[in-house]
Structure 1
Amino acid sequence: MTHSPNDPILLSSSLHVDEARKAISDLVKDLLAEARNITSQSAIELVSLDQAINRILAEDLLSPIDVPSADNSAMDGYAFHGNCLGNSEDIVSLKVIGTAYAGKPFEGNIGAGECLKIMTGALMPNGCDTVIPQELTSTPSDASIEFKQSLLKPGENRRLRGEDLQNGKPAIEAGRLLRPSDLGLAASLGIATLKVHRKLKVAILSSGDELRTLGEALDAGSIYDSNRYSLTGLLNRLDLEIIDCGIVRDDPVSLKEAFCNAAKVADVLISSGGVSVGEADFTKQIMQDLGDVGFWKIAMRPGRPMAFGTLKPIAGQSSPHKTLFFGLPGNPVAVMVTFYQFVRAALLQLNGAAQTEPPLTQAISESAIRKKPDRTEFQRAILGRGKDGKPTVKLTGSQGAGILRSMSEANCFVILHHDQGNIAAGDWVDVALFDGLL
């Protein structure tokens, strides 16, 4: 069942991480459905391959050719017709009548008892359907080869026309977050431009009277704002357009003005700070005035308090769409964890991506980890390899939500799931790598 962000079911108790993720995904689906009713092609751009990395493909990329374009050799060796092969240990002797190179096809025909020396990628000559690797043959003379019948079967080591891609079939499906290999594949098909979804515009701000921007002096009780810089780095990894709204003081007038200004120009607004029970009183009222936003307690560590919902369109807004809103905790590590767990997937989904969740791997914990059931924990850790070659993982020390060093030294999260208890040294645990994410 889908709930509004302000649904009492979501506010009355701590949400399971999976419940929060589903509620966010359901709301993004609703926003996408609303957007389709208002605009269509305006959210699609045509970009050159050198500008397409980390963009999301908007339409299936259809191959204009067969790949391979013709039958060819999968390796260096000798091409011949496989009707001379069997399962015995008998020796096959073939006469070598020429050589075929990639890009320089052999024009003649190959008859019975004959073969052609062939290079990887060279077109298969007429009369040939099999290639024996060069290293499996002996050469009694420059003009002949020998090998055992049983070493291969007819048709081996030949790449068939259209084996990889067929003309008119999808080479890359819509929704792909484009990687370097995708750009290479497009180039191999002679395609110079790709249709991609427009970059989302994401506004970020930090709230708190104690925050100071870089270059300002620190007075008693004040701290430098690090969250906007962490969020900027996270968003840059997704290649999104970032609108930095700076630091906003803890008063209703300033906060409401900042939210309204951000909603006028952004598809998504991400704030940090001001969402815990004590801090959120006037923020709740502002959110009720501006849209449909709920304040959640999530059964996770770090990152328990979070606000989520939509801001309704306001006068002067650049688009008629609602603005997706995330109110993240103020603690620096909690900001990055909640972004990783909830915001990243929502941004990818809203931007048209088909795959939004990063893959998990597993490693052996080098030490015991204390864990309370009924919450999901994201421990910062370093993934390595033991003497036996198996993957191992060790924590980066103290796991407090305000200890940025624990993130800076780490290269992964150890994810301890909702129902898990204590972990013993030597147990296998789920791991999510930072590479490409944080």
Structure 2
Amino acid sequence: MADSPAVPFAASSRRPPLLPLDDAIAQLLAKARPALPSELVSTFDADGRVLAEDLVAGLTVPPRDNSAMDGYALRVADCAAPGALLKVAQRIPAGTVGTPLLPGTAARIFTGAQIPEGADAVVMQEDTAAIAEEGGLGSVRVEIVPAAGQWIRRAGEDVASGDVVLRKGERLTPAALGLAASIGFDRLPVARKPRVALLSTGDELVMPGEVAPAAMKPGAIYNSNRFFMRALLHRLGCEVHDLGIVPDRREATVEALREAAEHNDLIITTGGVSVGEEDHIRAALQALGEIDLWSLSMKPGKPFAYGSIPRSGRGDAQGHCHVTGLPGNPVSSFLTFLMLVRPFLLTLQGASRVTPEPVRMRADFDWPRADKRREFLRARRNAQGGLDLFGNQSSGVLTSMVWGDGLVDNPSGQTIRAGDPVEFIPLAALLS
């Protein structure tokens, strides 16, 4: 989708219509391009990073046919019936190369060792009986009739030279790091970590540990958003600059955003994006830059803003800094991060896949209250293969995010009856 022009919120007191979530995501992802520059990092340290270039194999893996078992390499033609007796002519540990296998002989071989020329099968040692003989390697009785090719790993069955083994835009996993190492990469080209400034607004916020529960003033709440936001950002490979709690004053908000914009790729604020007199993020963002998105057709999570702030050039980057304003209610903040900020940050890193595929599942609950907004209901899978719903779907009940293991993506205007198929997004896919 093409970028939409900035909405002139200051020119009118009328609120714009709520933006459909899919439209908001499309506009956000367009704003996240081009991706961040790349850097080389140790393969040991690249877990979760986004690959910036295709990785091409410069060798074949495995380079030669090798044994998948400890046992005996032999010729199938020498074992036409169970009980064939073969002379053990050589011993081949992994890392050594044997000599060509003569008819009527076998080679004692170990897992990973190269198959000697002439052998066309490996029999595991459990299907043999070793016969010791003085002054040599002895003989072996083969108790089965082997099949040609059994227990042999073929050269190139994992990787062929010239293969693209990992593609640009992939998020690296532990398995991917092992695969990269198997073709000789000790360093990998990845997108630079996004630099993200995190700040909370609200005079009611108190940090755990600073005030005991019994000493909390009326109206005060602990700042839970700051904790899960930092954890979510670290899981996405971000360099987090935590700016703490900003007072509910326009001047303080403007100054915090101005300073953060100079050295960060993205600023995330929680709270202060609604329409109350103490909500200053929108006004501060308009004073410093522009707002492109505001208010989503999403429940929970309607008060969401996206904009940008030009840099003065005092920092270490030119251009502009992205800003996302998230709601203050913890569930709303959590869900808008997962549905909007997460794909934005992955796109900023050049990731090729930024949203998980939902799973079709059976609802084992009733949801009779259709809403005009698209809803994300906290649910979890049950032993019967269906979904149970958390009893309180309020945007302030963070317990629902701990109890649930996923979200029911319910379209606007849609009721749900027990037995209906619904779209379910596992939280594991969103939190990886």
Q: Same fold (TM over 0.5)?
A: yes
CA displacement at 1:6 relative to structure 2: 2.5
* 2:140 matched residue in structure 1: 143
- 5 Å-filtered alignment, 1:21-420, equals 21-29=25-33, 31-32=34-35, 43-76=37-70, 79-80=73-74, 91=81, 95-98=85-88, 100-111=92-103, 116=107, 118-131=109-122, 143-145=140-142, 147=144, 152=147, 154-214=148-208, 215-216=210-211, 218-278=216-276, 283-370=281-368, 372=370, 375-386=373-384, 391-418=385-412, 420=414
CA displacement at 1:114 relative to structure 2: 5.6
Which residue type is aligned with residue 96 of structure 1? L
* 1:39 matched residue in structure 2: none
Query: CA–CA distance in 1 between the matches of 2:300 and 2:182?
Result: 45
Q: Which runs of 5+ in 2 are unaligned?
A: 10-14, 132-138
Query: CA–CA distance in 2 between the matches of 1:115 and 1:359?
Result: 52
Cα deviations by residue, 1:276-325 (Å, 9 ceiling, x for unpaired): 23458864443233223134232221111210122222352331031111
Query: CA–CA distance in 2 between the matches of 1:370 and 1:184?
Result: 49
Contact 2:248 2:280 survives alignment (8 Å): no
1:375–1:147: structure 2 CA closer, same or farther, 3 Å change rule?
Answer: farther
| SS state at 2:260 partner | helix
* 2:135 matched residue in structure 1: none
Q: Which runs of 5+ in 1 are unaligned?
A: 36-42
Query: CA–CA distance in 2 between the matches of 1:14 and 1:428?
Result: 24
Contact 2:358 2:423 survives alignment (8 Å): no
Equivalent residue for 2:424, pick from 396, 409, 430:
430
Query: CA–CA distance in 2 between the matches of 1:382 and 1:126?
Result: 57
Query: CA–CA distance in 2 between the matches of 1:26 and 1:248?
Result: 30
CA displacement at 1:256 relative to structure 2: 1.1
1:139–1:426: structure 2 CA closer, same or farther, 3 Å change rule?
Answer: farther
Query: CA–CA distance in 1 between the matches of 2:271 and 2:284?
Result: 15
CA displacement at 1:369 relative to structure 2: 3.5
CA displacement at 1:131 relative to structure 2: 4.2
CA displacement at 1:168 relative to structure 2: 4.4
Query: CA–CA distance in 1 between the matches of 2:383 and 2:78?
Result: 49
TM-score scaled by length of structure 2 = 0.82
Cα deviations by residue, 1:344-365 (Å, 9 ceiling, x for unpaired): 1111111232222235445544
TM-score scaled by length of structure 1 = 0.81
Query: CA–CA distance in 2 between the matches of 1:104 and 1:256?
Result: 69
CA displacement at 1:384 relative to structure 2: 4.7
Query: CA–CA distance in 2 between the matches of 1:133 and 1:13?
Result: 70
CA displacement at 1:53 relative to structure 2: 2.3
1:3–1:174: structure 2 CA closer, same or farther, 3 Å change rule?
Answer: closer
Query: CA–CA distance in 1 between the matches of 2:5 and 2:273?
Result: 14
Cα deviations by residue, 1:76-121 (Å, 9 ceiling, x for unpaired): 5554456899xxxx8577553435443344323243x665554432
1:436–1:134: structure 2 CA closer, same or farther, 3 Å change rule?
Answer: farther
| SS state at 1:143 partner | strand
Query: CA–CA distance in 2 between the matches of 1:317 and 1:185?
Result: 38
CA displacement at 1:24 relative to structure 2: 0.8
1:384–1:119: structure 2 CA closer, same or farther, 3 Å change rule?
Answer: farther
Query: CA–CA distance in 1 between the matches of 2:199 and 2:205?
Result: 11
1:204–1:347: structure 2 CA closer, same or farther, 3 Å change rule?
Answer: same
Query: CA–CA distance in 1 between the matches of 2:31 and 2:332?
Result: 23
CA RMSD of aligned residues (A): 3.4
* Alignment of 1:18 onto 2:18: no
1:3–1:128: structure 2 CA closer, same or farther, 3 Å change rule?
Answer: same
Query: CA–CA distance in 1 between the matches of 2:378 and 2:178?
Result: 34
Determine what percentage of the aligned residue pairs are the same residue.
Answer: 35
Shifted more, 229-238 versus 176-185: the winner is 176-185
Query: CA–CA distance in 2 between the matches of 1:49 and 1:24?
Result: 31
Contact 1:360 1:430 survives alignment (8 Å): yes
1:353–1:308: structure 2 CA closer, same or farther, 3 Å change rule?
Answer: same
